[in-house]
Amino acid sequence: MQVEDYMNETPLRLLEMLTQTREDLWRAAQALTERGVTRIILTGSGTSYHGALTARTFMQRWCALPVDVCWPFMLDDETLARSGKALVVGISQGGGSLSTLAAMERARNVGHITASMAGVAPATIDRAADYILTVPCGEETAGAKTKGYHCTVLNLMLLALAVAGQQQRLDGEQRRSLLLRMEKTFNHLPALVTASQAWAQTNALALRDSADIRLTGPATLFGTVQEGALKMLETLRCPVSGYEFEEFIHGIYNAFNAQSALIMLDPQPDARQDRLAQILSEWTPSIYRIGPQVENNGLNLNFPVCQ
C-alpha cells in the first residue's frame, strides 16, 4: 500500500477506535490514580514525538496533571530523578525504537510507571512497559507514517478520558459529547483529503520542485506543523522545516528569497499572519495558506469546514 492508501484508511480506523472497549487504557488509568502519579511524560521520536505534542494539551486538561513531551535522549537520569512519580509513555509507530526502549528502561529503573504505545503487537518497546497500550491502527508499511500519527493522537486522548473517568471528573454525558465531536470530525476527514488532493495537483504542484520549504502555524497546531514538515521532507526529499508562528518571526524569515516557499496553517483569522504573508510575498511568490477562511488566490487551500 502507498501513503495515499493509508491516508484514505485513516478515518475508518479512527471511527473504529471510538467504539472499542479498551480495558488496557482503563487499567493504566487506574494505576495512575492508585499509585500516586503526579506527572506524565510522553517520549518518542519523529512522528511519535509529534503525535505526543498534538495530544499534550488535551491530556493535561483531562488528566489534570502536568504533561511533558520529551525526545528519548532528553530523558536522562537527572530529568527522571525530579520529584514525583511519573507515568512515562513510550511511543513508537513501528514498535522497534531502541532509543525509546532505553528511555523507558531508565524510567523504570528509578521507579516510574511505564507504558508502551506501538502500532504493532508484540513490539520491542513492550519489553520495558508495565502497561501495553497498543495503538489499534493496523499495519502501516509505508515509510512516511500518516495513519499511525492520527491513531496515536487519538490513543493518547482516549487514555486521558479514561483517567478523567477513573477520577470521576468526566461523567457519561460529557464523554458521549466529546466522542460525538470526534466522530463528526473523523467523518469529515474524507472531504479534507479530497480537497487536499485537488490542491496538491493544481495550486501546490510547484512545490514538488522546491528547494527550500518552511511551514508555520499557531502554537495550538505546533505538533501538526512539525509532522507536516517531516512528511514533506520524507516525500519531496528536499529541506523542509516547521516553526510555531512566534518562533518563525524571531529571525527565521530572514532566510527567505525568491526560491523559498512558505506554507502557513491558518485555522482562524489572524492579522499578524496576514501581515507576514504580505511582507514575504515581496520576497517570494510561493506563499501558500491553508485554512477555512483564506483567500482563493490560485495558491491557497480553502478547505471545507466540519459542520
Q: Each residue of 248-307: pLDDT tens digit?
A: 999 888 888 888 999 999 988 889 999 999 999 999 999 999 999 898 899 999 987 665
* Cα(139)–Cα(120) distance, integer angstroms: 7
Is the model's pLDDT at 156 over the cut of 70?
yes
Region 168-184: mean pLDDT is 94
pTM of the model: 0.95
Lowest mean pLDDT across 21-35, 133-147, 166-180? 133-147
Which residues lie across from 189 on neighbouring strands? Answer: none
Res 258: pLDDT: 87
Is the model's pLDDT at 5 over the cut of 60?
yes
Name the packing angle between helices 172-200 and 147-166 (round to 10°).
170
Domain 3-189 and domain 205-302, same fold? Reply is yes
Res 307: pLDDT: 56
In the chain, domain spans: 3-189, 205-302
Res 74: pLDDT: 95
Average model confidence (pLDDT) for the chain?
A: 93
CATH homologous superfamily of 3-189: Glucose-6-phosphate isomerase like protein; domain 1 (3.40.50.10490)
Strands 113-118 and 85-92: parallel
> How many other β-carbons are positioned within 10 Å of the β-carbon of residue 19?
8
DSSP string, 137-152: -----SSS-SHHHHHH
* Cα(182)–Cα(16) distance, integer angstroms: 12
Three-state DSSP at 97 gives coil
Res 269: pLDDT: 86
Contact between 39 and 70 under an 8 Å Cβ cutoff? The reply is: no
As given in the structure block, the three cell numbers for residue 4 are: 495515499
pLDDT tens digit sequence for 102-111: 999 999 999 9
Task: Tell me the pLDDT band of 185, cut-offs 50, 70 and 90.
Answer: very high
Res 199: pLDDT: 93
CATH topology of domain 205-302: Rossmann fold (3.40.50)
Contact between 127 and 96 under an 8 Å Cβ cutoff? The reply is: no
Nearest of 235, 244, 285, 282 to residue 262 by alpha carbon: 285
Task: Tell me the pLDDT band of 218, cut-offs 50, 70 and 90.
Answer: very high
Region 141-146: mean pLDDT is 83
Contact between 291 and 303 under an 8 Å Cβ cutoff? The reply is: yes
* Cα(253)–Cα(274) distance, integer angstroms: 14
Task: Tell me the pLDDT band of 228, cut-offs 50, 70 and 90.
Answer: very high
